[in-house]
Structure 1
Amino acid sequence: MLNWLWLGFFLAAAVAGLARWLVGGDDGVFSAMVAALFDMARLSVEVMVLLFGTLTLWLGLLRIGERAGLVEALSRLLSPLFTRLMPEVPKGHPALGLVTLNFAANALSIDNAATPIGLKAMRELQTLNPSPESASNAQILFLVLNTSGLTVLPVTIFMYRLQQGAPDPTLVFLPILLATSASTLAGLLAVALVQRLRLWDPVVLAWLGGVALLLGGLIALLAGMGAAALAATSTLAGNLALFAVVIAFLLGGALRRVPVYEAFVEGAKQGFEVARNLLPYLVAMLCAIGVLRASGALDFALEGVRAVFGWLGTDTRFVDALPTAFAKPFSGSAARALLIETMQTHGVDSFPALLAATVQGSTETTFYVLAVYFGAVGIRRARHAVGCALTADLAGILAAIAVCYAFFG
């Protein structure tokens, strides 16, 4: 799957580039595509350098948590749920606790902690994989839920809106929460359908119902806050949660008589090894994405959507937000730039800008995550991971459009 996907990016870019040259007379498109190749290769190294420090820090802390038994305790707590969703993972396996920590970090938008924890979880799942070059069912479920991860406190989106002068930066809080919930549910259902998971099991239904009740209560609590209070609460909650994990691991290790410094260094060495092995996968995927974007293929798709819905006579305001939606699965930085451009062009509280912010907060950089997470463990055959992840992305985009028309239409 990854072979055909990667080749398809370059072929689509070639077709789009030829069309811009032969039809549009743009003879600079190929120089832009070549420049994108080298720019993305350089960016891959820069990303890897950033990951060195982050992975070293968090994998060091996780090693302390493992030796203190904290990750194992979390795994035992969630075994009833995950033995049904990931039947090939034994009860109490360390991967289950790491998966949970990763989901919690994503929900609080703590990206600098979520990625190292997620990579550690993927490595633990790889120890159970009977075919090391092909993604296991458990790894696919984890990756899909990660890329469609529920975002409870989208602090960065509030920050972008505040920077652009929004009088109420948190106006998109509820739309994002609803859209990201739809994305996560769609991802879970897609994987469950392919892997034939029994989601109607009483234990699974009880956990899903409990999460739904918790989210409902949180929505009721946060929806009553003012913009300033909600933004402050979001930032404080994320930072408190992050530092609380650090202190919990250190204190847990000390109480269990773990030599915390030695354990940290032991785990940090693993972080260095993981980051080093990521470079080839990052170069491959980011270069393909860069060429696709520079060729204008995404612009062609956007204009096609606009033409179709214009011909049908429906409202086309949502089309102006689709550049962010199209770019997000490929590049977080590109989607962020397009979001800001939409805010500046149409107004920070215009319908396209509100929709773009909702999409940005409810979808993930699917192909980047796929390259990093699978690349970290040497997986080359993604099986149904890409299809299920893109299904979740599509559900998030469609839900964002529907919710924004309901809230702001």
Structure 2
Amino acid sequence: MNSVASMLNKLWLGFFLTATVAGLARWFSDGDGSVFAAMVASLFDMARLSVEVMVLLFGTLSLWLGFLHIAEQAGLIRVLSRWLGPLFARLMPDVPRGHPAIGLITLNFAANGLGLDNAATPIGLRAMRELQTLNTQPDTATNAQILFLVLNASSLTLLPVSIFMYRVQQGAPDPTMVFLPILLATSVSSLAGLLIVALVQRLKLWDPVVLAYLGAGAILLGGFITLLATLSAAALAALSSLLGNLVLFGIIIAFLLIAAMRRVPVYESFIEGAKQGFEVARDLLPYLVAMLCAVGVLRASGALDFLLDGIRWLVATSGWDTRFVDALPTALVKPLSGSAARAMLIETMSTHGVDSFPALLAATMQGSTETTFYVLAVYFGAVGVRRARHAVGCALFAELAGVLASIGVCYWFFA
């Protein structure tokens, strides 16, 4: 945790120092003294925007943690754990069948799948502690811990509700437009993470059971992509919106009906889960204010534009399309800090428009990548693991796959 704090301290201070240098450069070279007024104004603007985002985040997290608690009380997580048990038994052969870690890992994936990354973290920490009980070398990560962490860092997101929420706050008429792009990009990042870990750990992916699970998923995804390939860009955007809303509401109704059939007090369960959302969202406000203000100053000083102009020139010189460059700030800081990436995403939406190509691409990157170094430090730090072995390289490989897939998918959908 100390390394994470040190990294974020340097990142945050670096934003302000870079903005200061850029502002002074504009003043001395162009005589533009108004840059300092713009930088100060951005501080107040971003502080106000942080509160506006947080108000909606309170409701969104409370809503989905409430429904997730209903699913847990109804036994749906236990059912999912039994379904995935044979797969985990082969991917994590050192973890005994029925071990508590399997259920917690499943619940963690469920929270991540619903886009509740902040809620998934405490569940993931519990799973990591359970895996640590099987660790014969407490300071060194086990194969099971590395696989769990890399899959967690690959950001498997089926319903990116937090991304939808940010788009709603920025005035998007159709917040679920990015549903399918995120689903496709996050599938690529998760598959890349699984394959690279399997290669390093020499997992037997050709085992009939593993092939059955992965083959079924690949067939479904491949068939879905084949269907999408027949559609125009306008039809893709419309289908993404329809499926996003349909799946979102369908899951809610399924949770409620199954819980009611099993005599779960749905209202009381929802309230109990929703209380956790209030606590999680409240704790995020200081981080959001800090990072949004730092990013706002960076943009107002001209430093961010200078960096992007340099990358844009290199891309154009290579003969490639440059529209993706304005979305890169989100991808560049996501491995380091989730709050900084959120700030970059919101700032991109505010600057270019919520439904602009850079904003749609930034939202897709945000939904299909993870705060790799933060996850590594928090999860391993919580159980005292100091030797990460191949965890860092595998997680970054999955991160890169998610970024590249996001760019390709968004050109397919929105270009």
SS at match of 2:216: helix
Distance 1:397 1:359 in 2: 10
1:151-175 deviation per Cα after TM superposition (whole angstroms, max 9, x unaligned): 5677977x969x7789xx96x7765
Q: How does 1:168-179 map to 2 (within 5 A)?
A: 176-179=182-185
Query: TM-score w.r.t. structure 2 length?
Result: 0.67
Alpha-carbon contact 2:330-2:341 (below 8 Å) kept: no
2:330/2:366 contact within 8 Å kept: no
Pairing 1:145–2:151 present: yes
| Separation of aligned partners in 2, 1:230 and 1:406 | 13
Identity %: 36
Which amino acid counterpart does residue 26 of structure 2 have in structure 1? G
- Shift, 1:8, TM fit: 2.6
- Give the match's secondary structure for 2:348: helix
Residue 24 of structure 1 aligns to which amino acid in structure 2?
A: R
Structure 1 match to 2:66: 57
Alignment of 1:176-215 (within 5 A): 176-192=182-198, 196=201, 198=203, 200-202=205-207, 203-215=209-221
Alignment deviations for residues 108-157 of structure 1 (CA, whole Å, 9 cap, x no partner): xx446x76466435434434435999987656644543453445677977
Instruction: Give the structure 2 partner of residue 249 of structure 1.
Output: 259
Per-residue deviation, 1:4: 3.7
2:352 to 342, 349, 355: 342
- 1:182–1:396 contact (8 Å) kept in structure 2: yes
**2:223 aligned with 1:217:** yes
Aligned-residue CA RMSD (Å): 5.2
Structure 1 CA distance, aligned partners of 2:167 and 2:55? 23
Match of 1:126 in 2: 129
Return the TM-score normalized by structure 1.
Answer: 0.68
Aligned equivalent of 1:305, options 291, 303, 311:
311
Give the letter aligned to residue 232 of structure 1.
Answer: L
Residue 328 of structure 2 corresponds to which residue in structure 1? 322
Aligned counterpart, 1:15: 17
Q: Give the direction of change, closer, same or farther, for the CA distance of 1:307–1:219 in structure 2 (3 Å limit).
A: closer
1:265 CA drift (Å): 5.9
Among 292, 295, 315, which residue is 1:293 paired with?
A: 295
Which of 8, 14, 36 is 1:27 aligned to? 36
Instruction: Find the residue that maps to 2:26 and give its secondary structure.
Output: coil
Indicate whether 1:357 and 2:363 are aligned.
no
Quote the Cα distance in structure 1 between the aligned partners of 2:370 and 2:182.
18
Deviation at 1:2, TM superposition (A): 1.3
CA contact (8 A) 1:321 1:356 kept: yes
Taking structure 1 as reference, are residues 341 and 48 closer, same or farther at Cα in structure 2, changes over 3 Å only? closer
Distance 2:308 2:167 in 1: 24
Corresponding position of 2:102 = 96
8 Å Cα contact 1:285/1:367 also seen in 2? no
What is the CA-CA distance between 1:212 and the residue it aligns to? 0.7
Give the letter aligned to residue 22 of structure 1: L
Match of 2:272 among 263, 268, 272: 268
Q: Is the 8 A contact 1:86 1:138 kept in 2?
A: yes
Quickly say closer, same or farther: Cα 1:173–1:31, change in 2 above 3 A.
Answer: closer
- Asked if structure 2 preserves the Cα contact closer than 8 Å seen for 1:183 and 1:362, the reply is no
- For 1:23 and 1:83, the matched residues in 2 are separated by 59
Q: Distance in 2 between matches of 1:192 and 1:275?
A: 38
